[in-house]
Amino acid sequence: MKLDRIDQKILTVLQEDGRIANADLADQVGLSPSACLRRMRALEEAGIIDKYVALLDQRKLGRKMDIFVEISLVGQSNEVLENFERAVGRSSEIMECFLMAGDADYILRVTAADPTDFERIHREHLARLPGVLRMKSSFAIRPIVRKTAFPMKTETT
Amino acid sequence: MKLDRIDQKILTVLQEDGRIANADLADQVGLSPSACLRRMRALEEAGIIDKYVALLDQRKLGRKMDIFVEISLVGQSNEVLENFERAVGRSSEIMECFLMAGDADYILRVTAADPTDFERIHREHLARLPGVLRMKSSFAIRPIVRKTAFPMKTETT
DNA sequence: ACTGAAATCGCTAAAAC
DNA sequence: GTTTTAGCGATTTCAGT
């Protein structure tokens, strides 16, 4: 799918405000409401727009800690990796997980209310992940930037 | 602010579908539409709900790479840290950044279309960050989990 | 084929209870 | 917290470029 300037503008706006009224979005991108809505639907159909979500304030929910966990597995066989990844997918507490090149096999990010809560998560979730050889947790002191919006090529800083 | 079961249910649903019609949301949480809307507004007012956004498909946008960058600064003075953090905030390419305890001072995550694109980002964004002593980039091979929704206490797996 | 204009339909939001 | 209602926005159809 090809994205022209207007599509990019639509995506930029929707990444900031996913509930903007179609009429207002049309204004901002300089299109009539119906043309704007058609493009938006096309972007949804194409899967460029994956979903619309509410983002919650982590601190106000009492989740004051972010922890990165580097993990090495006992082996590199498909079975070991797949078991591990399935378990990761089932855990509600694991916010992000990437298979990595380099030192660690996986890196994951979890959030916790406080050290006690992290202990619970460690016990109930992390320690139960299968095939783990070594685990190294690193605590974040403070989040500096937390973005969900990708830059569009026309507005790269 | 105190969150009862219904508030938590509202947040759970909105974290999955931020554009759900109020009438449908009311159905799902077992409330009348107006009562549901009042609670939703209250959650927005309180800042529990930070914002509503569209999440785009990173791969379909052509951003196939995720890179984690560990950074050590030349010093720990307020000035060095603040300069660095301001610069991070200005870069559109840096998706996440945390001040860390432990080995590295900061960890950040950037996304790139391909190695050439990463070279550009490295040159135009990362290499220009002030006060950097050492930088270590780790490439992700594949994302396993990528979540924006926090688990509510009533549904912890 | 894609855009803009007009009409219908359904939802939101504010009232009264 | 619920029901009711008025008004507005979304959505679809149609004509034009």
State the total domains in chain A: 2
Cα A18 from Cα A11, distance rounded (Å): 9
**Between β-strands B65-73 and A49-56, what pairing exists: parallel, antiparallel or unpaired?**
unpaired
pLDDT means over runs of 10, chain A (157 residues)? 91 96 93 94 95 97 97 95 97 97 90 98 98 97 97 83
Report the CATH number at residue A90: 3.30.70.920
Identity of the residue numbered B146: R
Domain region containing B22: 5-45
Looking at the structure, tell me whether residues B73 and B107 fall in a common domain: yes
A26: CATH: 1.10.10.10
Instruction: Tell me the DSSP string of A70-103.
Output: EEEES---HHHHHHHHHHHHH-TTEEEEEEESSS
pLDDT over 90 (residue B36): yes
SS (H, E, C) B47-101: CCEEEEEEEECCCCCCCCEEEEEEEEECCCCHHHHHHHHHHHHHCCCEEEEEEEC
Contacts of A144 in chain B (CB under 8 A): 85, 88-89, 97-99, 106
Nucleotides of C under 7 A from a protein CB: 2-6, 11-16
The pLDDT tens digits of the residues spanning B69-127 come to 999 999 999 999 999 999 999 999 999 999 999 877 999 999 999 999 999 999 999 99
Name the region of B99 (left: φ>0; alpha: ψ -120 to 50; beta: rest): beta
Q: Kind of pairing, strands A49-56 and A132-146?
A: unpaired
pLDDT at B32: 93
* Judgement on whether residues B129 and B75 belong to the same structural domain of the protein: yes
Mean per-residue pLDDT, B38-52:
95
Q: Tell me, what's the pLDDT at B1?
A: 77
Q: Which pLDDT score is estimated for B104? A: 73
Residues A84 and A125 occupy one common structural domain: yes
Contacts of A140 in chain B (CB under 8 A): 98-101, 107
Residues A40 and A74 both lie in one domain: no
- Is the model's pTM score more than 0.85? yes
pLDDT at B156 over 90: no
Average pLDDT over all residues of chain A = 95
Instruction: Note the pLDDT of residue A35.
Output: 93
Residue B154 in any domain: the answer is no
Asked whether residue B53 carries a pLDDT value surpassing 90, the answer given is yes
Evaluate whether residue B114 is within a structural domain: yes
Do A39 and A11 reside in the same domain of the chain?
A: yes
pLDDT of residue B107: 97
Query: Are A70 and A130 within one domain?
Result: yes
State the burial class of residue B9 (Cβ atoms within 10 Å of its Cβ: 0-12, 13-18, 19+).
buried
Closest to A110 in 3D by CA, of A150, A75, A64: A64
- Quick one: B69 and B27 in the same domain? no
Residues 37-76 of B with CB under 7 A from strand C: 37
Tell if B125 CB is < 7 Å from nucleic strand D: no
